[in-house]
Amino acid sequence: MKLIHNKPVAVYFQSLLVLNVLFGVTQSSLLEMVHAVAAYDNSTDTTGTSFCIFTTTNSSLDKISPLLLPSLLQQYPTTFVTMNSYVDMEIRKLATMVLLDLTAYHYEFPFKFIQQRLNHHPCYKKSAKFVILMGGASFDRKELALDYLQSYAILNFVLVPVTNSSKFVTVYTWNQYTGQEHYFRSTDRPVHRFFPDKLRNLNGYQFMMYGVTNYPYIMFGPDGTAQGLVPNFLNIVIRKRCNGTTFYTDSAKMHYAMDANFNMQHERFSFKNTFYFREETGIYLVCPVRSVRDFLRHLLKPFSLGIWLILGGLFALCRVAEILFPTIYRYDLIAITFFGGGGVEYRQPFAFRIVTLTLAVLMFFLSEAYNTKIISLMSFEKFTEQPQTLDAIQQSDLRIMFSRGAVDIFSSLKNNFLSPSATMRAQKRYGHGVYEHYCAMMYKGNAWIAVAPQMMDLMGSLYMVPEPLMINKLLIQLMQHSPFFNLFERMFGLVNECGLWAYMLKKANVLLFPNTFITWETMLQEVIFFFDDLSCVWILIMVGWLFSTVCFVGEIALEAWRERRRRRVVQKFQIVRKYRLARAWFNVK
């Protein structure tokens, strides 16, 4: 690239302009048309008009319109692009108009010449207005030029065949979507007719987009249809405004052939064609609600070792007192403490009443503590606190399913990640129920779906960790030479500014988490405890029944064994008795 800022070259063009004015050379129709187009571009582009000129050393433009280049240099910032230099897109300002001088090629369209410039020297905006000057009979083969412009998705262009004889030149443009051809004269005004809005009517053109499911932006149904905010936005832009059609796919093999990719960005040296969503999103952890607790251990061992020692000492003390003082403690102290009885209290001895009162007070506090423990176990599932930060997740025993590259990115949680083989085994073993055992990384929208009440039957009781693993913004990237970028960027800004995008986001959240109004019907349906909330009570009852059954069966078996033993003793006694009688009968004196 070579900027025409060198003093000898500038002086040369200025001298040429002065000579032409002195000799009374009038401006040609081509000069007037180019300046009219530049004035129109300057009035419509807020950044101002700037030129990028492609030309050759053997061009005949200085003979046809010698004032064109000097006048453009004086009025507009101009960049000349050559074959041996590269335009740095990050430094140079992109041109809003391109003057492509092909007058040196009289009989053919220079594919190689244009390809090297459009591929390696993209110094222009995609919305730039191309003025292509064609010399000789090359305009008769304009179909070749149109095919090449279509491959680069250049819509704002005019082909201008230039000659020395005509007073005006022909201006030609073509709509690649409708196939319409437009011919103008260079003297026709206003010049905005040379550049019609060719995206207004796509004539059924199929706009294709690739994306993966990310609620509420894009979701794919079983039949392949896509729904969400992004398809709604494309329906507004492509279908309603531009009269086109849309196609969506989640096949990664096809994303290189798409017109746009959702939330997938490729690095490019030029024409990145990427616009970002304004709301923040990211990757979050979705973990199972830890509501399972070891009820049996707490129910069967409600007190500490010290309390158990005290209770054992009291039991032994009561037994010793009953043995040593049978006249005072005539009733079983343990049975009286648990089940009552023992006659009229005030008629009992004073020592008996002191001991029973002490035991009653002690059992009162212990029983209340035990009941409180049961109630706390019943309410544990509803009021337990889950890990809410990544540090809490790191210190917990929660495990995260493996995801490619996640261990390297989130190194602080590397000890919580399962191995790839363990993740595959867990998914094969539990299926959809794997989320009830392990945490998973999800996009924010997909995490909303996972923790929604409607998904509880399928995925279990889950919650989303409020602290994100990564914060980013979603994006849409169009293909490198897409003509839709400026339209998409402008329409997306309008959709956000009018509040339609925020309204669709809010509506998507309401679908997952509806605000239920309190009515008499819902109030009557509310209950204090559910069946699962009383699981500790059911465990206590089942353990009590089991313990009672074991004791009952053991008592029956013990009694049967005693009865059998007693019968054997009786049997032996009877045998011995008979033997003695017989012996006495034979030994009669």
Contacts with 426 (C-beta within 8 Å, 6 or more apart), sequence order: 401, 418, 434, 437, 438
Rounded distance between C-alpha atoms, residue 18 and residue 21, angstroms: 5
- Here the contacts of 39-42 (C-beta below 8 Å, separation 24 or greater) are 40/190, 40/191, 40/192, 41/96, 41/97, 41/129
User: Taking a C-beta distance cutoff of 8 angstroms, is the pair 275, 476 a contact?
Assistant: yes
| β-pair partners for 3 | 79
Structure tokens at 47: 């950044």
Query: Burial level of 463, CB count in 10 A (0-12/13-18/19+)?
Result: middle
Rounded distance between C-alpha atoms, residue 508 and residue 446, angstroms: 12
User: Which of 294-303, 315-324, 544-553 has the highest average model confidence (pLDDT)?
Assistant: 544-553
pLDDT of residue 13: 45
pLDDT of residue 130: 92
Higher pLDDT among residues 299 and 445, named by residue: 445
**CATH number for domain 200-277+485-514, candidates 1.10.10.10, 3.40.190.10, 3.40.140.10, 3.40.50.300:** 3.40.190.10
Q: How far apart are the first and last CA of the chain?
A: 153
What pLDDT, in 10s, does the model give residues 205-261? 999 999 998 888 999 988 888 999 999 999 999 999 999 999 999 988 888 889 999
Rounded distance between C-alpha atoms, residue 502 and residue 380, angstroms: 38
Task: Give start and end residues of each alpha helix (H) in 108-246.
Answer: 111-120, 142-151, 229-234
Contacts with 425 (C-beta within 8 Å, 6 or more apart), sequence order: none
Higher pLDDT among residues 533 and 403, named by residue: 403
What pLDDT, in 10s, does the model give residues 313-328? 878 888 888 788 877 7
Tell me, rounded to whole angstroms, the distance of Cα 198 from its chain centroid.
35
Predicted model pTM = 0.68
pLDDT of residue 565: 85
Three-state DSSP class for residue 518: coil
* Residue 227: φ, ψ to 5°: -135, 160
Looking at every residue in the chain, the average pLDDT score rounds to: 79
Rounded distance between C-alpha atoms, residue 501 and residue 493, angstroms: 10
Domain boundaries, the chain: 28-194, 200-277+485-514, 298-380
pLDDT at 340 over 70: no
Q: How many residues does the chain have?
A: 589
Structure tokens at 531: 């069946």
Task: State which amino acid sits at residue 114.
Answer: I
pLDDT at 357 over 70: yes
**CATH number for domain 28-194, candidates 2.130.10.10, 3.40.50.1010, 3.10.100.10, 3.40.50.2300:** 3.40.50.2300
- Angle among Cα 193, 486, 183 to the nearest 5 degrees reads 20
Q: Report DSSP letters for 346-383, one per residue.
A: GGS-HHHHHHHHHHHHHHHHHHHHHHHHHHHHHHHHHH
Rounded distance between C-alpha atoms, residue 49 and residue 38, angstroms: 7
What pLDDT, in 10s, does the model give residues 427-445? 999 888 888 889 999 988 8
